[in-house]
A and B are shown apart, each in its own frame.
Chain A
Amino acid sequence: MQPDKLLRVAKWEVTKNAGGVDKRTIVVMALSLVAMGAVAAIAVSGGTGAGMDDGIYRIGVDESSPYYGVAADDRTFDIREPDPTAIERRQQELLYRGSQLQSVPRTAKERAALAELRDSTAQYNDRTLARDDNQTAAFPVSVTLVYEQQSGSSQLDPRGGDSSDGSGSADGSGTSTGGSGDGSDTGGTGGSATSSSGDGGTAGGSGANLGAIGARLTGDVQGGTPSDISPPFPFESLVLAFLYIVPMNFVIQAYGSSMLSERLNRRGELLLVTPASRGDIIGGKTLPYFVGAVGVAALITAALRFGNIAPAGSYVAVLAVVPLVVLFLSATFCGAMFARSFKELTFVTVTITVTLTSYAFVPAIFTDVTPIALISPLTLVVLDLTGQSVGLSSFVFSVTPPLLTGLVLFGLGAGLYREEDMFTQRPIPLKVLDALAGGINSRRSALKMSIILLPLVIVAELAAIAFLFVLDSVSLNVFGTNQSLGIVLVLGVIVVVEELAKSLHVYAGYEHARYERTLRSALGIGALSGLGFFIGEKGLLIARLSDLESLPIGEAALQGATLPAGLPLWVAGLLFLLPLALHTVTAAISSVGASRGRRAYLGGLVLAIVIHFAYNFAVVSTLV
């Protein structure tokens, strides 16, 4: 690869696309973005702008009444001169003289107005008390609320629970308490709300940080009586993760379109006859979108930091976004190499958007709820923005699988970036086989391909764990054993993914006449594929960097990669080698099928899946 050529292609990619959008469109897009930003700002500001219910209740109250201030602070009330005849004429809903209600609510609207005034009075009192110099008198009763995890509790961050600093407080749901407290160590990820009669405020665990951001985002800095307490909803994680994931989806649309347009009408053919290499062309065409996506993430982080919404935001948040950008772009690149038309590309990019957004976004919402959240690098972003430290091991665990997967996908797509594959109109499944076959040139390629594909396997398996762990508590009677539904489903997904990863490239090799169709050859190729997978599978040890094993479902999923402690050496050795035998045998079965055509391959694959599942289930039933 020649960096100068790559940069030239990148420069012209920007110039070319800039020329493809006229100025009017740019203006319309900019105005649309500003409008969206304004609407979002109003939404997160708690609707401080004009509201639809402004002034819907008319209240007769004079300035001497204690309710005057309450009504004045609530925009739903329209303050009028007290007038008993106005009540009769139904021109006022409520009438106060001093602190006494002079009218009897008879209509539904009058009753609603009274209920609203009572709520507003409670909030008015809370705000008044929170401003009082003597907080002990204002809040004589202190309640410390700690949300605990139901199972598998573990701190994401070693410093997560040690956040008592005596300076104000907030709970995980965005509500906060005024008052003074003596601090508390909530030790957890659930967040806490504290109000105490001590002399210092408290903060909860990591949830407290989120609450603080939520408060800043929504303007909700008051509240905190026991009746207001509700379990925390990770609204802030959701908002923060959303902020970072949405721009990526726009970037991949432009990227996919640019890549596919190189293929349509053979426009990219002429680049291939220049001295620039395939790597220069792909790298150059990808670089602007990569820089753009990472740049947007950096801008968002800077805006949150200097807008004082997430003052703790740092370069860690930007670095954590990099593997996601690589993953999104690489998947889109592959999609653009596979699709035959813009119509097909639309279908592919929607699939990519939904799949990868789910992978990245959903776990990050639960940043402070479960360690599984760490499978998504967006969790690191949320942790960083909320002022929680991100350990190196957590960082490596979170970013490595998507980064490697991205590189593998780029490699597969690059295999098709040549004249004879770029411009063909083969269906997507055949293109996938073409991409896989591109890396095969001898029997030993089977071993190499199984190792190369492992990052894809890891990402798929971690995603399965993340999405199925909620079913951990549902029991299922399977073969007389009482297993959780979550574990059974995760095992099923893992087995299917692994057997496909071991056999699909072998099938592609046979379909492209790279291998000899003999039984001996098929057995040898299968064994090599199984061996490659076994070697690569040890890469799953990366999971030890996380706390996934603290969950039963995580332990079940990772049983192939890690060994229980304290086993005799020979047992440990046996358990270490058994997976090798398993992978070799099952890969050989599907390889023999692949050597005899598509139907035989499917048959062999199903048989391999059944054997693999039985093995995994037996191990899990025994060890977990």
Chain B
Amino acid sequence: MIDARDIRKEYGGFVAVQGSSFSVDRGEVFGIIGPNGAGKTTTLKMLAGLLEPTSGSAEIAGLDTETAEMRQQLGFLPEESPLYEEMTPISYLKFFADLYDVDPDVAEERMHDTLDELELEHRDRKLGDMSKGMKRKVAIARSLINDPDVLIYDEPASGLDPLTTNYVIEFTEQLAKEGKTIVFSAHNLFHVESICDRVVIMNEGEIVARGDLEQLQAEYGHTRYHVYTTVDVPGAAKENGTYERVVESMEAVETTRRQAENRGGDVVDIRTEESSLEEVFLNVAEAGTRGTRYVEEDAE
């Protein structure tokens, strides 16, 4: 559905994105994560046709990202919600429906349905008088007014309170279930982990890792073993009548078992814990861009 081929963006002498390639399948939720200044937003804007790549090209559904036909199929949500504050949500959404050539009756139904789903009240209030969360919901409704096949969401929950954040993430998850292709960036990696099928990690304008969560964990994460014993062993903490020791290798598990037996006790339970995406991300960030190892083959 989305095909980015070696897209590169330079501002003067500064390279914001250096030759990124990836593809996103229809109905897939694709996450882009990375520290501030990594090139996530620039990449998303190149996909949305807002920025012209200095070199390389991007296509959505076989259409060049700078064509009007492609934009007709796209819903873009920038990190901020820059709305026309003197308009009401309804007039604002009608304006964009008009620009997308949406039939007025269809637009009317669609905007009310979406705002109902988003539980937006006070629809006759001016946007300038609304809270940040309400504005974000209107911005999301705008991105859906043309019923796009592809959604590009840049930090959709940025700056929102936890309740609204959860609501927005759940709504995005719902859109994914409806079959929308979504490219998604977020600082909160828990959200990415919960809804993304695949992820790329960017750093200093470059993709430094990519794959689904399991692949990333295997490559960059660690498996932790929680060993529970009946007696105290070095490095253990008492936990509900047993002693818990966290180790990171099977050898250490064996050592703990021997230590417990030597003290007249035994191992009663062993649990495994995989690294979170956040840990994977931190590990990747620590590794830096040198010696980048790709989990999967580069996109053609």
Residues of A at the B interface (CB closer than 8 Å) are 5, 8-9, 11-12, 15-17, 19-20, 265-277, 418-420, 513
Contact of B95 among A12, A20, A277, A513 (CB under 8 A): A12
Q: Which of B68, B80, B82 contacts A275 (CB 8 A)?
A: B68
A90 to B142, CA, bound (A): 83
Question: Once the chains are docked, how many angstroms separate the CA of A420 from the CA of B16?
Answer: 12
A147–B11 alpha-carbon span in the complex (Å): 64
Given A15-B95, A16-B87, 9 further pairs, Cβ under 8 A: A12-B95, A16-B84, A16-B95, A20-B86, A266-B82, A269-B82, A275-B72, A275-B100, A276-B68
Instruction: Please state if A270 and B51 are interface contacts (CB–CB under 8 Å).
Output: no
Known contacts A8-B99, A12-B98, A274-B71; decide if A269 and B84 are in contact (CB<8 Å): no
Q: Which of A17, A20, A272, A277 contacts B50 (CB 8 A)?
A: A272
Contact present for A267 and B87 (CB under 8 Å): no
Would you give the shortest CB distance from A571 to chain B, in whole angstroms?
51
Across the interface, which residues of A come within 8 angstroms of B99, CB to CB? 5, 8-9, 271, 274-276
A273 touches B86 (CB 8 A): no
Query: Interface readout for B34-72 with A: 1 if CB under 8 Å, 0 if not?
Result: 000000000001001111100000000000000011011
Q: Which of chain A's residues has its CB closest to B84's CB?
A: A16
Q: Nearest Cβ distance between residue B67 and chain A, in whole angstroms?
A: 9
Q: Which of A8, A11, A273 has the most CB of B within 10 A?
A: A273
Chain A to chain B: the 10 pairs with minimum beta-carbon distance, closest first:
A20-B86, A275-B68, A267-B82, A419-B50, A274-B99, A266-B82, A273-B76, A12-B95, A19-B86, A275-B71
Q: Decide if A420 touches B87 in the complex (CB within 8 Å).
A: no
A270 touching B142, Cβ below 8 Å: yes
Write out the residue numbers on chain B whose beta carbons fall within 8 Å of the beta carbon of A269. Answer: 50, 78, 82
* CB of B247 closer than 8 Å to a CB of A: no
A558 to chain B, nearest CB (A): 42
Q: How many whole Å from B161's CB to the nearest CB in chain A?
A: 21
Question: What chain A residues lie within 8 Å of B68 (beta carbons)?
Answer: 275-277
- Which chain A residues border B91 with CB–CB below 8 Å? 15, 19
CB pairs A–B below 8 angstroms (11 shown): A5-B99, A11-B98, A12-B98, A15-B87, A15-B91, A15-B95, A16-B86, A266-B78, A268-B82, A270-B142, A419-B51
Give the residues in chain B near A268, CB-CB below 8 Å. Answer: 82
**Distance between Cα atoms of A270 and B83 in the complex (Å):** 9
A1 to chain B, nearest CB (A): 11
A266 touches B87 (CB 8 A): no
Interface residues of B in 10-48 (CB under 8 A from A): 11-12, 45, 48
B83, A274: Cβ atoms closer than 8 Å: no
Contact A273 B87 (CB under 8 A): no
Tell me, in angstroms, the Cα distance from A229 to B185 when the chains sit together. Answer: 81
CA gap between A15 and B84 in the complex, in Å: 11
Q: Which residue in chain B gives the minimum CB-CB distance to A424?
A: B11
Q: Which of A5, A9, A20, A270 contacts B82 (CB 8 A)?
A: A270
Q: Among B50, B80, B83, B101, which residue has its beta carbon within 8 angstroms of that of A273?
A: B50
Which residue of A17, A19, A272, A274 is within 8 Å of B96 (Cβ)? A274
Set of chain A residues within 8 Å of B78, measured between Cβ atoms: 266, 269-270
Residues from chain B with Cβ under 8 Å of A19 in the complex = 86-88, 91, 126
A contact residues around B80 at 8 Å (CB) = 265-266
Q: How far is the CB of A13 from chain B (nearest CB, A)?
A: 10
Residues of B within 8 A of A15 (CB): 87, 91, 95
Q: Is B74 an interface residue (CB 8 A)?
A: yes
- Looking across the interface, which residue of chain A has its beta carbon closest to that of B80? A266
Q: Which residue in chain B gives the minimum CB-CB distance to A271? A: B99
A420:B48 contact, CB within 8 angstroms: no
Name the B residues within 8 Å of A513 (CB-CB).
Answer: 12
Which residues of chain A are within 8 angstroms of B48 by Cβ–Cβ distance? Answer: 273
A419 to B82, CA, bound (A): 14
Smallest CB separation, B68 vs chain A (Å): 4
Q: Cβ of B98 and Cβ of A420 under 8 Å apart?
A: no
Closest to A9 in B: B99
Shortest CB-to-CB span from B202 to chain A, Å, is 19
Contact B82 A265 (CB under 8 A): yes
Would you give the shortest CB distance from B77 to chain A, in whole angstroms? 9
